[in-house]
Amino acid sequence: MKRALTLALACLLALLCLACTAQPAQEGNALFYYLTPYGELEQLEPLFQTEIRQLPPNASLEKQIQTYLYGPLDQSLRSPFPNGVEVVSLSLDENTHILRLTLSQEYAALSGLQLSLANACLTWTLTENPAVGQVRIYSESGEEVMNGARYLTRDQFLTEAEAPEQEFSFWLYFADENQRYLIPEVRHIVDTESDSAGVYILHQLLEGPAPGSGTQKTMPQGTRLLGFQVENGVAQVDFSSEFVENKPETELGERMTIYSVVDSLTELDSIDSVTFLVEGKKLEYYRYMRLSRPLVRDESAIGPVQTGINEFDATLYYQSWSSEFLAAVPTRIRRDDTVSMAERIVRTLIESKPVNDLHNLMPAGTELRSIDTIEGVCYVDLSAEFGQIAGGYGMERLAVNALIASLCSIDSIHSVVLSIEGGAGGMRYYDLSYPIRPLSSWFFPS
């Protein structure tokens, strides 16, 4: 989550004791807010004082503002505004009480604390007028100069003790109905020193998605959060025993559970990766996934499949921590009208870089020479690099199986004839002389 800048935090500190120093103006007079002569943030004295100014009868709001911008009559007070700043234009909506004020370019030269103090003085002064409830300030160039706020009001400039909590938006991730992809759901959080955003996210995941969202809860039934801490960008999450006792029964369901936690927490800028504990003990494995190392964010787990922009849903297979079984990864692939779905799968598999203990089995430099599908059989010819797989029979078998299983994730393909440089040979251990169908022994047992 990219955190928005808070509205003038320094200004909130600066306005400490402001309410005590402001005196009400008598009818026919205006109350102008200026800076005290020596006020600094680290001092306890008020930074602001008011000056009562008498204006001509029926003076316009523009005249009032221009008089204010010229500065105080009391030479012991300081104006927060740059020399030469003038009113370019203003408009007041009598229904919403919103004043839109455009000031000359000198005002845009302010930044940081100086801009916060100027905005505060200007807002308090303008909202002394009962016709003005909110202020929106622009520079002559059209740029807003409000430190990220939509509108400025009196209530936004409070004492330190009354400083408003800041609300942020971020995504939570829940599973789609097929347990293939995480679907984002927006949440809002009030960020305070005493309430961890990470704890809030985890409790929201445990509660599940909003009713009617069409998504599914990812956390195992009965799971409770026992602990949470972040150190050097690594979040450590401690769940109750139900997290393991009631874990998902399928490989895809497990993937949804783990990555709903990882991808939701890594929405926070302070978190780069996540480790899992159960009842205070580090979780080495779940059902199919190894969790002994911190897991980083995996964008490939996030959906939905955008069929409207010609994406299709495939399953690619990679080497997992196990040297025996392939790991299935649902993958959104962009269609290309000039090539087949089978070709897009092979090229995506060759180029992909999976994360978190998954490894691409395609040897570096492998190229697709040709591909064609006839009556459910996909004929694939690869470059010589594919035949140079290191690691012996086991790795060669996994690489061939990963390619075949990925292609057969397309409904129209049931088997694959694989060749290297146009021939059925080229592999050290694997016989490529016949069509190969995926076998259940290639995958994690259900």
- Tens-digit pLDDT profile for residues 346-371: 999 999 999 998 999 999 999 999 99
Q: Which amino acid is at 173?
A: Y
d(CA 238, CA 300): 25
Q: H helices within 212-303, ranges in order? A: 242-245, 251-265
Per-10-residue mean pLDDT of the chain, 446 residues long, equals: 35 41 57 72 56 83 89 85 88 86 86 78 88 87 67 63 57 94 84 62 92 92 92 92 94 96 92 94 92 93 86 93 88 89 95 91 93 95 90 88 95 93 82 90 86
**CA pair distance 333, 303, nearest whole angstrom:** 11
Dist CA 198 CA 274 (whole Å): 11
Closest among 201, 328, 354 to 271, alpha carbons compared? 201
DSSP letters along 310-350, please?
TEEEEEEEEE-S-SSSEEEEEEEEE--TTS-HHHHHHHHHH
Residues with Cβ < 8 Å from 222, sequence gap 6 or more? 240, 242, 245, 246
User: What pLDDT, on a 0 to 100 scale, did the predictor assign at position 321?
Assistant: 86
DSSP 362-412: SPTT--EEEEEEETTEEEEEE-GGGG--SSHHHHHHHHHHHHHHHHTTSTT
Q: Work out the burial of residue 216: count CB atoms within 10 Å of its CB; fewer than 13 is exposed, 13-18 middle, 19 or more buried.
A: middle
Q: What pTM did the predictor assign?
A: 0.62
For residue 172, give the DSSP letter: E
Helix (H, G, I), strand (E, B) or coil at 212: coil
pLDDT of residue 163: 42
Q: List all residues 6 or more positions away from 221 whose beta carbon is below 8 Å from its beta carbon.
A: 242, 246
Nearest to 285 by CA among 251, 333, 334: 251
pLDDT in tens, 115-144: 878 888 888 899 888 888 888 888 887 777
Could you count the other beta carbons within 10 Å of the beta carbon of residue 403? Answer: 26
The single-letter code of the amino acid at 163 is A
